[in-house]
């Protein structure tokens, strides 16, 4: 960050960059839930927040069982294949809640990343404390929203009614990235608060005319 940044501030920026990458990967990849490759009768192959990958999913609206879905499909696909008509069947309320919470997690982390860039490039020292505290709040919200998302999905993700043999489904690496990102968001919040406190004490010392010597490695 700018001008004699403390060690906490440097770690906060680096950790924010890592957290943002993890959130983006968890948000966009399709491995929140997967089916064991050794089980050949599964309808599901893998799925993320926005993409479902099927081995052979029968159309629940086709009583004659002549239409099946296979391969990966974006959730909002609008092709005239009948997929959009069964979207409600594939996205129960708990899954919509997961999408909503993790989208909020993504937005909070993205805004924090933008604020960090602004802090590095164009924010003077007098306004740094406000920016640091704002980023701490945003990362706290990111952690809270991300935690809600992974808890809900972890508790209910394997219970999809349209999948077969749920015991063969498991939480995959995209879900793991989401869990790690939520944890790191809380750590990053703490680091931003520490850096804000250090910067505030420096400013108070400067304006009082009695500079205080602080350990810049805190």
Residue-wise pLDDT for 77-110, tens only, equals 755 466 666 777 778 889 999 999 999 999 999 9
Q: Is residue 37 part of a domain?
A: no
Expressed as residue numbers, the domain containing 158 is 7-31+91-207
pTM beyond 0.85, yes or no? no
Residue 217 lies in a domain: no
Residue 57, domain member (yes or no):
no
pLDDT at 135: 94
**pLDDT digits 0-9 by tens, 126-161:** 788 888 999 999 999 999 999 999 999 998 887 766
Is residue 124 domain-resident? yes
- Name the band, by pLDDT with cuts 50, 70 and 90, for residue 202: confident
Task: Give the CATH number of the domain where residue 98 resides.
Answer: 1.20.140
| Domain annotation covers residue 164 | yes
pLDDT at 78: 55
How many domains in the chain? 1
Q: Is residue 119 part of a domain?
A: yes
Q: Is residue 45 in a domain?
A: no
In a domain? residue 100 = yes
Concatenate the DSSP letters of all residues of the chain into one string: --SS--HHHHHHHHHHHHHHHHHHHHHH-S-SEEE-TT-TT-SEEEE-SSEEEEEEEE-TT-TT---EEEEEEETT---TTTTGGGHHHHS-HHHHHHHHHHHHHHHHHHHHHHHHHHHHHT--GGGHHHHHHHHHHHHHHHHHHHHHHHHHHHHHGGG-TTSS-GGGEEE-HHHHHHHHHHHHHHHHHHHHHHHHHHHHHHHHHHHTT------TT-
């Amino acid at each position: 960050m700018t001008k004699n940044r403390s060690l906490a501030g440097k770690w906060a920026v680096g950790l924010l960059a890592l957290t943002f990458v993890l959130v983006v990967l968890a948000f966009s990849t399709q491995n929140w839930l997967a089916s064991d490759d050794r089980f050949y009768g599964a309808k599901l192959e893998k799925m993320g927040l926005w993409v479902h990958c099927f081995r052979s999913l029968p159309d629940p609206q086709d009583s004659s069982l002549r239409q099946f879905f296979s391969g990966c499909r974006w959730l909002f696909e609008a092709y005239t294949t009948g997929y959009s008509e069964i979207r409600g069947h594939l996205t129960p309320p708990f899954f919509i809640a997961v999408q909503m919470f993790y989208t909020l997690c993504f937005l909070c982390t993205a805004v924090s990343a933008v604020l960090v860039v602004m802090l590095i490039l164009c924010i003077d020292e007098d306004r740094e404390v406000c920016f640091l505290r704002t980023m701490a709040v945003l990362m706290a919200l990111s952690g809270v929203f991300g935690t809600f998302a992974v808890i809900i999905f972890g508790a209910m993700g394997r219970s999809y009614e349209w999948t077969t043999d749920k015991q063969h489904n498991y939480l995959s690496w995209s879900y793991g990235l989401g869990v790690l990102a939520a944890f790191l968001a809380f750590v990053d919040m703490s680091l931003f608060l520490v850096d804000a406190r250090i910067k505030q004490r420096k400013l108070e010392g400067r304006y009082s005319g009695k500079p205080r010597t602080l350990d810049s490695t805190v």
